[in-house]
Amino acid sequence: MTSINTNNSAQAALQTLRGINQGLNSTQNHVSTGYRVGKASDNAAYWSIATTMRSDNKALGAVSDALGLGAAKVDTAYTAMDSAIDVVGEIKAKIVAATENGVDKKKVQEEIDQLQDQLVSIAQSASFSGENWVAGANGTKSVVSSFVRDGSNGVSVKMTDYVLNNGSAGNVMFGMSGGQVDTSTGILGTANGSAGSVYSLDITNMTIGDLGQALTNVENALKAMTSAGAKLGSISTRINMQDDFVNALSDSLDSGIGRLVDANMEEESSKLSALQTQQQLAIQSLSIANSSSQNILSLFR
């Protein structure tokens, strides 16, 4: 039976066309944005995971920046300590030279004075971003090392600590007092025996025995400075390794996010072509279904 009030064929064709258009709009959106899951309604679970991972990735970017800042602080301190070791080595050589009979100790001391002033200059200059790791009071310096999301979904920032010790066997060249270098503390400022400290050393009137004590003090200072330099070097190595890891982890997160939400462009292109063809056929089918009602008119001619 053919009815002019109800065209079942047209309704079926219209429903088919509506479904095809919805699929076509979805596919076109995937192609234009590059995302298979662009909003929560596309896939709530994947969207939630991807959003959290993107947030973590931003935090890792901040950690990478902080690691760069921390590396600069450590490298500044290491460079200063390494330079100071060379200067103290020169002082050691001067003391050895002064043990030779006939050497003018006063002239040697003038050279040592310049080297001692250079040590203070190095300590004062070894500051980066307001922090000085080779001249400071007892305390702890820290640099960001990582951002962690644990198994219970809690987040935290991990730090690498460097504890300053301004004793004679510590890890700072001089202490700090009132914002100024305290030349009476630290590896180079702490007095040790009759020869005093490396910084206050004056060999002008020293006997051979006194020079021996001074040489021992300088050697002990070199050992302490070498140990501090090694510690700074190991921290620098760890920061560099952590930076490499953070960058690799960030790339892995990007890849993981892509697997969850990125559109497969080859697949979407194929679907787009198929849907466009289906749309054309559905429109033609709807046109045929609508034209069937017009055929009734021929019955009344």
- Condensed to tens digits (0 to 9), the pLDDT of residues 4-45 reads 666 777 778 788 878 888 877 777 777 777 788 888 888 899
Q: Which residue has the higher pLDDT, 28 or 135?
A: 135
Residues contacting residue 109 through CB under 8 Å, at least 6 positions apart: 202, 203, 204
The verdict on residue 54 lying in a domain is no
Tally of structural domains, the chain: 2
Helix (H) or strand (E) holding 182: strand 180-182
pLDDT per position as a tens digit, 64-112:
888 899 999 999 999 999 999 999 999 999 999 998 888 899 999 999 9
Range of the domain at 193: 62-253
Same domain, 151 and 18: no
**Least confidently predicted of 56-60, 103-107, 202-206, 260-264:** 260-264
Q: Which CATH number belongs to the domain containing residue 150 in this structure?
A: 1.20.1330.10
Task: Check whether residue 17 and residue 69 sit in a common domain.
Answer: no
Segment 132-155 mean pLDDT: 84
Q: Are residues 21 and 90 in the same domain?
A: no
Clarify whether residues 86 and 158 are in a common domain. yes
Residue 229 covered by a domain: yes
Confidence of residue 153 (pLDDT cuts 50, 70, 90): confident
Residue 167 falls inside a structural domain: yes
Residue 225 lies in a domain: yes
269 with 249, same domain? no
Residues 270 and 157 grouped into a single domain? no
With respect to residue 41, please indicate whether it lies within any of the assigned structural domains: no
Rounded CA gap, 42 and 38, in Å? 7
User: What integer pLDDT is reported at residue 300 of this predicted model?
Assistant: 65
- The answer on pLDDT for 149 being more than 80 is no
Same domain? For 82 and 224 the reply is yes
Distance CA 261, CA 244 (A): 26
Q: Identify the residue with better confidence: 151 or 276.
A: 276
